Amino acid sequence: MAPKIRTLEDLPSSLFSGDGARPAAFLRLDLNVPLKAGKITDDTRIRAAIPTLRWLMENNTRIIACSHLGRPKGNGAEPEFSMAPVGERLAELLGKEVLLCPDFLEDGFGRIVSGLREGQIILLENLRFHKEEQAGDRDFARKISQGLDFYVNDAFGTCHRADASMVAVAECFPPEKRAAGLLIRKEMEFLEDAFRAPQAPVTAIFGGSKVSDKIPVLQKFTQLSNNMIIGGAMAYTFLKYLGHDVGKSRVEEDKLGTVGDILKAADARRVKILLPVDHMAAESFDEKAMPVQVDTVGIPPTLMGLDIGPKTARLYADAIATSKVVVWNGPMGVFEWPQFEEGTKSIARAMADCRGTTIVGGGDSAAAITQFGLAGEVSHVSTGGGASMELLEGKELPGIKVLRAGHS
């Protein structure tokens, strides 16, 4: 069993109890929020950072906060990816000034740190304006960590990346001065600890467009779960392997053998695989397509499946209702289109009604349950898409591994 990660409570008390200058922290956050015309359209990730920021502020810490935003090319500033709107929203939520530092390397990082006042927050401009960030460059890491007293990572959504701010900066501090923030601690409790010795039955729900995107996690849950629910376009590859007609539905022909292996592994461990028994279909993949209900497992040759049908929704909801632990990753259909949203909405409702531990594993599932107004009705909604998937697969994430070092 991997050692526990260090958390804020594990930091040396001497950091916060001295008579001299208050400690200065390097705080890596995930503030990669969606923007439209320079305006934030969803501030979920900013809100998720607030508890750790408040903890540090209450402990009189001087804070250097940083994140990436979007996908700049790494060749200097790109105004459309500036952290300025993020800093403004942070200041609103905290009721405290947040100072944006655009040229932190050119200005001299040491001077910035020495000028920090107790409880002050400085937000660095987009880390990915510098190509060294994604390259994991150690010289870059040393420059942006000089003069600071400890390291805190609360950027769960980026923990599967070995970026400089995620690993190399952490390694600039001794292990006892590295810690996970409150968000990462919560993510680990639900995505890792919940599956150490879960109470049965455990149900895993997988959807989305491709089997190929989820092979490792599907294989993992043939060992961890009692039920596996399959929806979305990936279900048609399963159905075709089993000999059913799937019409014009999307099928990954090169993954039929892999699906067979997954089904055999599940059967060997007596894991029940639930697949669609009816469908909502259309003649083409079109936002204005008219939905056609197909009451059988097979789909006519002129149609493609775009959502699970009502019988399938009830079947899946019944399995969820009796589960002690449920994890969901991937929509049941094209939930972005109202005429094909009902299958995904039914899963969201079933998760909300379930009395067990209910975990939404980030990405489109998190977007869907938020869209349907049910995010507050489940045990946990992960902020990390790729990171949550890799953690569920059992992988050691670079940004988590560095927080375990020297900790038992």
Q: Are 304 and 251 in contact (CB under 8 A)?
A: no
Give the number of other Cβ atoms within 10 Å of residue 268's Cβ.
Answer: 9
Residue 183 phi/psi, 5-degree rounding, is -70, -45
Residue 129 phi/psi, 5-degree rounding, is -70, -15
In the set 210, 250, 311, 349, the catalytic residue is 210
Asked if 386 is an active-site residue, the reply is: yes
Q: Are 15 and 58 in contact (CB under 8 A)?
A: no
Give the number of other Cβ atoms within 10 Å of residue 363's Cβ.
Answer: 21
Give the number of other Cβ atoms within 10 Å of residue 180's Cβ.
Answer: 27
**Bridge partners, residue 152, by sequence:** 27, 179
Tokens standing for residue 331: 């929509």
Tokens standing for residue 312: 């399938």
In the set 386, 394, 395, 401, the catalytic residue is 386
Quote the CA–CA distance of 330 and 92 in Å, as a whole number.
33
Asked if 18 is an active-site residue, the reply is: no
In the set 363, 384, 385, 399, the catalytic residue is 363
Asked if 36 is an active-site residue, the reply is: no
Asked if 210 is an active-site residue, the reply is: yes
In the set 45, 178, 186, 214, the catalytic residue is 45
List the catalytic residues. 45, 210, 363, 386
